[in-house]
Amino acid sequence: MFELSSKMNDERIDEIGENHIGTSAKNPLRADAFDISDEEKIKKIEESVRDILNTLGMDLTDDSLHGTPKRVAKAFVNEMFMGLNPKNMPKPSTFENNYNYGEMLVEKNIVVYSTCEHHLLPIIGRAHVAYISDGRVIGLSKMNRIVEYFSKRPQVQERLTMQVVQAMQEALGTQDVACVIDAKHLCVNSRGIKDIESSTVTAEFGGKFKEKETKREFLDYLKMGTKFE
């Protein structure tokens, strides 16, 4: 019975990993996720990476590899997965729409660097975010920072797209927010099927962006080339 159960679990693990299944609209974090400091996490991860490299047979006395465990640990905590920690959430400053701009605002080609939570391999792409003001506007760079914050986690692209929209909606006090992300997943490009040409597109439309004409206007903006001499 145990062997059958283990086999079924392995099959489920493979299914989730290969089919890009997410289990929640929120990143699955334990309740004690922040009970230890970042410094303590770096030490623990450094030890784990050292164990992995040793298991692979790498010679950690070599000058090139000696500092790798600590470099990886610091990158995990301070860079690649810094978006897991709420203390790093950007403060999305908003302002009164004093100039009464009532049309759509679109921020295109926001760089996305994230990490697939199934294989811990990079997700690299572009996000396009838009909103229609309902009395408040947000600083343009804050839109980039919101995308960056939610990207810096073990992620699935569908969840990332939803989280960007939800954060913008909360900051602006309006449902009229949309996001489209087009990204390459190295778990597809570099392993498994090894398809280096494919990319994944996800979209989340809120409020007026669910309406056919508004959605079409937004998508038409994305077709416009951006070139400055």
Query: What residues act catalytically?
Result: 116-119, 157, 185, 187
Contact 147, 183 (CB under 8 A): no
Contact 50, 66 (CB under 8 A): no
Contact 152, 164 (CB under 8 A): no
Q: Can you list the positions of beta strands (E) in the chain?
A: 94-96, 104-116, 122-132, 136-138, 154-155, 177-185, 200-205
Contact 221, 104 (CB under 8 A): yes
Query: CA neighbours within 13 Å on the CB side: how many for 8?
Result: 5
